Amino acid sequence: MNVDDTAPASDQCRACIEAKQRVLPFPKQSFTRIGEIGDLAVCDMWGPARHRGAHGEYYFTLFTDVCTRYAMRYFSSDKKHQLDALQAYHAFLKNQKGIRLKAVRVNNGKEFLNRHIKGFLRVHGISLELTAPHSSAQNGIAERSFLTLWPEAVNYAVYLKNRVPTRAIPDKTPYEAFWGKKPDVSNLHEFGAVCWVLRQDSSIDKLARKSRPCRFLGFSEESRAYRLYDPTTQQVITSRNVVFDRTGIKLQGGPSQPPLAVEGEQPLSPKQLPEGESDTPPAVSPPAKAKSATPPPQPTRTLRHAGEHINYCKSNNPDARKPAPRFQKPSQPAAVPEPSAPDVSKIAIENYAFALITNTNDDPQSLAEAQARSDWPEWKAAMDREIEQLQRLGTYTLVPCPPDRKPIGCKWVFRLKRDADGRIIKHKARLVAQGFSQIPGIDYVETFAPVVRLETLRVLLALGTLLDYDIQVADIVGAYLNGHLREEIFMRQPPMYENGRPDVCKLERTLYGLKQSGREWNLELDQAFKRRNFKRLISDQCVYLRARDTDTSIVAVHVDDMTMLTSSPETTDALKQELSAFFELSDLGPIRQVVGLEVTRDRAARTLTLRQTQYIDR
């Protein structure tokens, strides 16, 4: 073979390049320097989740500020809502920090490269940085943050991520770098930790356990409370009255145990699961049960606390009050556990005595939560009744919003009404105005409204018992809706009942939530009684008296609850007819309960007993 010696020497070989080319290595350290918050935010999306969230979440988007490493997450039902997440993060920086987002770095996913997102970035002057194709490491800050988690775990993971140190920011956590103050980590607990939640429903017996075991999920964003999983109702609840287990119970994982499910969550079908993934989520198994009276070994993981703690688990948990075998002397035989005291650490999995106690669901805290529940048709019917009542009373009229006025908001408040035995008798929905945004001196002036004093009510019940008066109670339906509004107030349209136009509600009558509603209702009530020749008691302005020959009528009013004492049942019926001409009454019959007092009356013996068992049970 002849070699051309005159050809110039070369260190490249075309065949070698075509056969052996590899991916260029990425630098071990980024040399990009970010000076201020908002200069650059990295973003990525994860999904679909194997289990749908309580509000239909399959995906979540994570924004991380490169300067402080502070992260914000946003959930969505599909990939089409990335613009909503971007707008929310942009508004968060603008409102909370007074800064504007300058640049966003994303990968080449189609969910980020559409005309809507590009148009939003162009209008607000935000630069768009894209990673090179097949080079996700260029967006490593965002890529390293993603794990296969369900929504409740994502919430707590992001919460912890913002409060733990990072090598990128020496001597600071992302929370401190972003907000300028150190985070409070004294309330951190292990995800899924065993805890006890105070039962505050009125259905429990006086001698029943006051707490129920739950699992810790994180912290509520709307209030200073914990988010917890209740295995009895299989729902996520919110409460501030929580006692965590301090006895060192060690949780062991096991695939055979059922997963923690959030209210409204549904598993994806096998066709919707990502390739290579099963439909069995990670589970939390019950802790091991003590087998002997010997002290258990120390747990491998312990929680650190700022100071000494009172053993609230022992004081609040009825089962923990019994002497434990480990406190007995070695010479004494081990105590035989009582069969009535089940192992509280396993109650999340097994059906013990707690499951036999009537455990009612908590009231929905938002419209979205009510929609996710199985009893949503009942809540929707209650909302329809409320809107029908508002329209019948002429509470508001729809008008265009004046250019110089800003309407206040409104929300739906839901409540389950129960009888004396704790059974659900009614789903109640109420439209409440967000009166906290009212301006004093413009939107309202005076707010005081009296109610009947408890001492007065007890004296009246005693007199009615001694005089053998007929004592009955009635409830005024939509009491606050009867007051006439003196100020001009505009409110946004009720959620789910918008007319599709940018109209607002001009309030003609008072509405629940307004600062002056209680006072205006009391003035309206006072005028109605005076038109029926009642006299107001000077010592208590919520007691009205009328005497006609041999007929006597006394009415004590507590907001919308009326306690009526008359000399005969016929007088009571006539009084109800008179008041029905002014207000819509709900006749509750003979007195059994009033302002939290349980009333038991024996007319033959001329006795009346007051109890507060529901208050004691709480």
> According to the model, what pLDDT value does residue 199 have?
85
Which residue, chain included where needed, has tokens 């320097």?
33
> According to the model, what pLDDT value does residue 284 have?
39
Over residues 514-565, the pLDDT tens digits come to 998 888 989 989 999 999 999 999 999 999 999 988 889 999 999 889 999 9
Lowest mean pLDDT among 81-90, 199-208, 571-580: 199-208
Output the six-digit token pair for 531. Answer: 């038109």
Over residues 474-509, the pLDDT tens digits come to 988 888 888 888 888 999 999 999 988 889 999 999
Closest among 490, 485, 507, 508 to 400, alpha carbons compared = 490
More confident residue, 177 or 350: 177
Output the six-digit token pair for 568. Answer: 């005969």
Mapped onto helix, strand or coil, the DSSP state of residue 94 is helix
291 vs 233: CA distance, rounded Å: 30
pLDDT band at 249 (very low <50, low <70, confident <90, very high): low
Burial 475-491 (b: 16+ CB within 10 A, else e): ebebbbbbbebeeebbb
Lowest mean pLDDT among 302-316, 369-383, 466-480: 302-316
pLDDT for residue 203 is more than 90:
no
Average pLDDT, the chain: 77
pLDDT for residue 360 is more than 50:
no
More confident residue, 596 or 358: 596
pLDDT band at 383 (very low <50, low <70, confident <90, very high): very high
pLDDT for residue 343 is more than 70:
no
pLDDT for residue 357 is more than 80:
no
- φ/ψ of 156, rounded to 5, equals -75, -35
Q: Which residues contact 260 (CB under 8 A, 6 or more apart)?
A: 152, 192, 215, 217, 229, 231, 283, 284
Lowest mean pLDDT among 238-242, 328-332, 415-419: 328-332
> According to the model, what pLDDT value does residue 462 have?
94
53 vs 55: CA distance, rounded Å: 5
Contact (Cβ atoms closer than 8 angstroms) between residue 225 and residue 339:
no
> According to the model, what pLDDT value does residue 376 have?
92
| Diameter of the chain measured on Cα atoms | 139
pLDDT for residue 291 is more than 50:
no
Residue 446 CB burial class (10 angstroms; 0-12, 13-18, ≥19): exposed
- φ/ψ of 181, rounded to 5, equals -150, 155
> According to the model, what pLDDT value does residue 252 have?
41
Output the six-digit token pair for 148. Answer: 């296969």
Lowest mean pLDDT among 191-200, 209-218, 286-295, 485-494: 286-295
Element (H, E) at 215: strand 211-219
Contact (Cβ atoms closer than 8 angstroms) between residue 218 and residue 227:
yes
Cis amide leading into 27 (omega within 30): no
241 vs 210: CA distance, rounded Å: 11
> According to the model, what pLDDT value does residue 276 have?
39
Q: Which residues contact 368 (CB under 8 A, 6 or more apart)?
A: 55
Cα 76 versus chain centre, distance: 18
Mean pLDDT of 574-588: 89
More confident residue, 17 or 447: 447
pLDDT for residue 161 is more than 50:
yes
Contact (Cβ atoms closer than 8 angstroms) between residue 583 and residue 477:
yes
Contact (Cβ atoms closer than 8 angstroms) between residue 617 and residue 358:
no
Please give the sequence-ordered ranges of beta strands (E in DSSP) within 455-581, or none if there are none. 470-476, 490-491, 503-507, 535-536, 543-548, 551-558, 561-566
pLDDT for residue 176 is more than 60:
yes
Please give the sequence-ordered ranges of beta strands (E in DSSP) within 374-529, or none if there are none. 396-400, 410-418, 424-433, 470-476, 490-491, 503-507
Mean pLDDT of 345-349: 41
pLDDT for residue 9 is more than 80:
no
Mean pLDDT of 120-134: 83
Over residues 311-339, the pLDDT tens digits come to 433 443 444 444 444 444 444 444 544 44
pLDDT for residue 456 is more than 90:
yes
Which residue, chain included where needed, has tokens 């509280």?
344
Over residues 39-92, the pLDDT tens digits come to 888 888 777 777 666 667 778 888 888 888 888 888 887 777 778 888 888 888
